[in-house]
Amino acid sequence: MGIFRDIGAPGVIVLILGALLIFGPKRLPELGEAIGKMIREFKKSVSDIENKIDKKDENDKNEENKNS
């Protein structure tokens, strides 16, 4: 879990209770859904960029092999 690795169970419980107090029980699922969607979109964007870089590298290698 990365950032939550050092917090432990009591810390996670405190975070959840704090979120409940700040956002309330009705908005918390909406907030979780929005954060999940944001993370999925970010991962998709990173994956797309990595794929473009890989394709560019392959094209560069193919051109280099043709010129040799």
- 43 secondary structure, DSSP code: H
Check if the beta carbon of residue 49 is closer than 8 Å to that of residue 57.
Answer: no
**Vertex 56 angle, CA 52 and 59, to 5°:** 140
Write the pLDDT tens digit of every residue in 57-66.
Answer: 888 787 777 7
Write the pLDDT tens digit of every residue in 20-34.
Answer: 899 888 898 898 899
The sign of the CA dihedral 33, 35, 41, 44 is negative
The model's pTM: 0.60
- 15 secondary structure, DSSP code: H
